[in-house]
Structure 1
Amino acid sequence: MIYFSLISMLYAVLDFIVQPYMHSYGAAYVMIMDLRNSVFEDYPIIGVLLVALLCGCYSLTIYSIAINFVYRFFALQREGRLRYFSGKKLVCWILIPILAAAGWVINNWIFLRPDSEKTEYLRSRAKEKYDLDIDKTSYTGGLYWRTDPYGNQYLSMKDMIGALGLNQLFAIPLVTIIYFGKKSYGKIKELLKQGESEYSKQLQIQLYKALVAQVF
């Protein structure tokens, strides 16, 4: 929980700095940072990194929640599997969200960073919707359908790879949460049969509800 709290604080700080605009328009989906009147106005590349790091913090959060679900299930099993969260093994669990976040940041940086075609595609819409000068912003995101020099539309594989990479990284903790959440709920329902008191069952239900609430 201390680890999750530290991640949440980092997430909040980055969110305060970036103050992102989440924008979906036509064939594009982007997260935009307004650089006007900020210390990053002359350093848009740093703004791109900050936006990518903010996405990485989301990954940190969801992966740490998934690990909490694993820990809660092992605790309910009471078969000694909590030993997997002790000593050096705990370091491995801590590293999983960090590595996943690094994957998100690298994916955004390589596949979803700004380019001229994407910028021009967003220019009028960003001005109309948010009164943003797209040349004074940083963003990451995909433009999935692009136009070649002959006016023909084609599917951008680079942007699709970036989107698929994020989806795969997101699917792992999501499946983990659903699987271990379901297994934990089943264990809680069996507590009375195992000789546990009603008080113990209600306590475990409260802890379970708190964990589920973190997901939302």
Structure 2
Amino acid sequence: MRFRKFTSSFDTEDRLSITIDDIARPLSSIQSSFEGGKVPSEFVAPLTKFAERYGGGSFSSLFAEGKSARQKQKLVEEFGSVLYSMETEEVKNEETFLIWRDACRDIIDWGLKVDFMLDHLKQAARDFFGYMLRPSGSESSCREIIQMEEAISQLRKKLLHLEQKLGEAREDLHLRLGDDISSDSMSCILGSSWVPQSRASRGLY
């Protein structure tokens, strides 16, 4: 399977001969302030969103210890390039994910604690492969299947909970009746609708 082959390749230490610079879009010459330094203005929006989601609004908690201000600035700029590329590049083949993987590995090695980006790229690649394999016009069917699978999953969880409660209720009744109660007697007890005011003719007419 093509995706399995990609996953195997993704997990190796091999590198592509091309880099993120080879696919980068031209940037304006405008520089903007970010984290106490300057980065291309195009990087500010993705960097800000990332910092808010994973760094509590700042990259400070994501830097490895001992990094100088200059090193931190370089890391932020390099990572901004990756995020900007991921936001703007139209993915046409799996090679793009390997380019981003190489860039993220370098950034992680240099001291930015974003190891989870590799898992994100794997999942994004899986989504890409799924999209490429999906037959044309099957979008509504795929959504319906996913919705039904989610509904079944919720029902299974509810069923598991009910079965647990049923077991507890049966165990409580067994304790009240004693261990020598037969299954027939238990069925008789559970099926009985008799109350103190009942008469034998109940349900007859």
Report the TM-score range of the alignment, normalised by the length of the smaller protein.
under 0.3
Asked which structure has the greater RCO (Cα within 8 Å, sep 6+), the reply is 1
Name the TM-score, length of structure 1 as normaliser: 0.24
In our comparison, the structure showing a higher alpha carbon Rg is 2
Higher normalized strand content (fraction of residues): 1
Name the TM-score, length of structure 2 as normaliser: 0.25
Higher normalized helix content (fraction of residues): 1
